[in-house]
């Protein structure tokens, strides 16, 4: 896709209005697209577990700085030497970015005008002590729903997409056809572009240019009532926009209240889906209970 094929800034303004969930679940709603996950949905998904196989798709907590993770976790032992009865440590994590598997709070990103999800003003809700609206605490009871692997690279017949490649709604449709199932309201989608395979072959990526979704994929996610977006890509980077340079975050979060599960390890999921002969699974993920928090590191579990 060339720049000429992309929506314009004006198109993105119109898209924001079109997919805006403001007031849809009430003026005080902080759950956003997690509202699509009903009790009946959870019960249905639990009943679909077959083999009982559990696959972790969280990343190891990294303490080494890199271009991909310039602010790694700080892990230190409280006791410098062996203690008679216990070992004790301390861990400091900045959850956002490209190095930590994490959930974004819906209030994590807002528009350049300072508008958060459900029309709240960031100036009023973001304090030095944390967020008073849209924090990660809304996910304290956890997320359980059906996950679906959308293997875009597999649908294209390649090992991985190049950093200059884009993922379009047509790609998502092709990956859905490959999976052989239909998306239902409340599902979580995991989009694969093969980043893990590429990094194994070529080394760690430069996140300043990476394959990812074009802005019109937001319409696709909205129309299908996707509850959670995840995968080894986010929006295409870079994109030539002034108001919404990161559309999946800057429209998905403040307009839709889209739940974003960032930076999972997708290749173990691909392998499990291949071995289990299915592209759907039960997703179980719970953030830490951080009142006012902008996000949380997580270790998502996929149950087959």
Residue ranges of domains in the chain = 3-59+101-303
Place 1 in a pLDDT band, splitting at 50, 70 and 90: low
Q: Please tell me the predicted confidence (pLDDT) of residue 4.
A: 63
Asked if the peptide bond before residue 234 counts as cis, ω within 30 degrees of 0, the response is no
Q: How many whole angstroms separate alpha carbon 122 and alpha carbon 144?
A: 29
**Closest by CA position to 303, among listed 190, 178, 146, 172:** 146
Q: Please tell me the predicted confidence (pLDDT) of residue 83.
A: 73
* pLDDT tens digits for range 36-61: 999 999 999 999 999 999 999 999 99
3-state secondary structure of 230: strand
DSSP 8-class letter at 188: E
Q: Please tell me the predicted confidence (pLDDT) of residue 301.
A: 99
- Provide mean pLDDT across the span 20-43: 99
Q: Please tell me the predicted confidence (pLDDT) of residue 240.
A: 95
Task: Name the percent of the chain lying above pLDDT 70.
Answer: 98
- Provide mean pLDDT across the span 6-26: 97
**Closest by CA position to 100, among listed 125, 126, 74:** 74
Look at residue 165 and tell me whether its pLDDT is greater than 70.
yes
CATH code 3.50.30 for 3-59+101-303: yes
3-state secondary structure of 276: helix
Place 156 in a pLDDT band, splitting at 50, 70 and 90: very high
Q: Per DSSP, what are the bridge partners of residue 231? A: 191
**Mean per-residue pLDDT of the chain:** 97
What tokens appear for 233 in the block? 């890509």
Q: Global pTM?
A: 0.96
* DSSP result, 112-161: TT-B-GGG-BHHHHEETTEESSS-GGGGTT-EEEEEEEEEHHHHHTSS--
- Provide mean pLDDT across the span 237-241: 96
Look at residue 304 and tell me whether its pLDDT is greater than 90.
yes
């Amino acid at each position: 896709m060339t720049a000429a094929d992309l929506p314009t800034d004006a198109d993105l303004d119109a898209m924001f209005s079109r997919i805006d969930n403001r007031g849809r679940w009430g003026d005080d709603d902080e759950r956003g697209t997690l509202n699509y996950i009903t009790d009946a949905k959870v019960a249905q998904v639990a009943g679909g577990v077959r083999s009982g196989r559990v696959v972790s798709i969280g990343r190891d907590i990294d303490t080494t700085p890199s271009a991909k993770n310039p602010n790694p976790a700080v892990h230190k032992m409280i006791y410098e030497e062996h203690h008679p009865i216990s070992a004790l440590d301390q861990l400091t994590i900045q959850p956002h970015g490209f190095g930590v598997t994490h959930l974004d709070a819906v209030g994590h990103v807002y528009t350049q005008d300072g508008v958060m999800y459900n029309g709240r003003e960031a100036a009023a809700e973001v304090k030095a002590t944390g967020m008073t609206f849209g924090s990660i605490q809304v996910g304290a009871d956890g997320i359980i729903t059906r996950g679906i692997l959308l293997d875009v690279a597999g649908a294209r017949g390649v090992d991985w997409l190049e950093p200059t490649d884009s993922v379009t709604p047509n790609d998502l449709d092709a990956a859905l056809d490959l999976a052989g199932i239909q998306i239902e309201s409340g599902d979580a989608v995991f989009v694969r572009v093969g980043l893990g395979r590429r990094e194994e072959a070529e080394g760690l990526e430069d996140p300043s240019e990476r394959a990812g979704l074009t802005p019109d994929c937001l319409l696709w996610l909205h129309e299908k009532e996707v509850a959670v977006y995840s995968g080894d890509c986010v929006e295409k980077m870079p994109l030539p926009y002034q108001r919404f340079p990161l559309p999946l975050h800057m429209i998905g979060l403040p307009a839709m209240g889209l739940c974003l599960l960032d930076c999972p390890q997708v290749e173990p999921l691909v392998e499990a889906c291949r071995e289990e002969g299915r592209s759907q699974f039960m997703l179980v993920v719970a953030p830490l209970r951080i009142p006012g928090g902008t996000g949380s590191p997580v270790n998502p579990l996929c149950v087959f």
